[in-house]
Amino acid sequence: MELPMVDVSILTQDSNEKSIVIKQIQEACQTWGAFQVINHGVSEAVIQAAMEVNRNFFDLPEMMKKEILELGSRDMFSPVKLLTFQRSARGSDLLQRDLVRLYANPFEDFIDFWPTEPADYREKMGRYTKDVRKLGITLFGAIMESLNLGPTHLQENFDKGMHMVIANSYSPPTPESSIKLGAAPHSDHGIIIILRQSSPGLEVLDMADGKWKALPCSEGSLQVLVGDHLELLSNGIYKSVFHRATLSTRTTRMSLASFHNFELDEMVEPATELTGEDCPKRYEGCSTRDLIKHIFSGEVGRLIDRLKI
């Protein structure tokens, strides 16, 4: 899939070029539910260090990860959660992946919950998390501007909101295995999700022709996905993108997904500026907690589809 490439450095300028980039973001969110970014302020060295330290974390002996596993198993909203699973998806496909999820905003409130092994885990993931958070704030303002809501619309809410970073590890299946996917087709909770893959494998559902297409994965770029809460906030103008993770047959594939949300219990409704007689409200409101609880419930279908009026 040829996703639009957005130059983030232009968003910090007051120029005609900025309006062109805002329009580019608008078209990407409407047409694909995703876009790529370059000159985004997160260096390749920081990205690769975060990838490597998570690869080393997943390679640790199970006993060394046991404390984290036990901590996260007690509560779906634990500030750190480790999941290792191989299970059936809805339908016939089998899934296989490991993940560690970290809460990261406010950073100082959660860093002490993060893994202490490898010894440089907190340092390298902390640097990546801080840099990608700055990027998320910049992109949120641009997306609000693309909806004609203004660059500061709900900015304070977003600044105080949740930031979760999930590191995924997808091991290659054995030749005799029936495992096909690392993650089943789904859309993500949150406003936006900023993603980086170690190698291609994520596929998105093209809204135009209904076919699965590989998401680009190029050095120096990051991918941005529209989440369920942005679909709701935009009153359906932007659509959260369906995607799935495939497995490499040769090497373990890694990805870092940065979820940017409002606060856990903040009720998100369609923006009043985007509703009216000509465009009625299309969704009931919900919180991030509601979306996450629905995901863990195992119920069929998306919560956001049930919220449609």
Residues 129-179 pLDDT 10s:
999 999 999 999 999 999 999 999 999 999 999 999 999 998 887 776 666
* Backbone φ and ψ of 38, nearest 5°: -130, 170
Q: Are 30 and 23 in contact (CB under 8 A)?
A: no
CA 236 to each of CA 158, 206, 212, 213, 240: distance values in angstroms, whole numbers, following the listed order: 19, 17, 22, 23, 9
pTM of the shown model: 0.93
Q: Are 256 and 104 in contact (CB under 8 A)?
A: no
Q: Are 195 and 222 in contact (CB under 8 A)?
A: yes
Q: Which residues of 241-270 are buried (b: 16+ CB within 10 A; e: fewer)?
A: bbbbbbbbeeebbbbbbbbbbbbeebebeb
Distance in angstroms (rounded) separating the CA atoms of residues 139 and 29: 12
Q: Are 243 and 195 in contact (CB under 8 A)?
A: no
Q: What is the pLDDT of residues 178-221, one digit of tens each?
A: 666 778 788 899 999 999 999 988 999 888 888 999 988 888 99
Distance in angstroms (rounded) separating the CA atoms of residues 297 and 38: 37
Which one has a higher pLDDT value, 40 or 201? 40
List domains and CATH numbers for the chain. Answer: 5-306 (2.60.120.330)
pLDDT over threshold 80, residue 95: no
Query: Residue range 98-125: average pLDDT?
Result: 94
Share of the chain above pLDDT 70, in %: 92
Query: Residue range 79-98: average pLDDT?
Result: 66
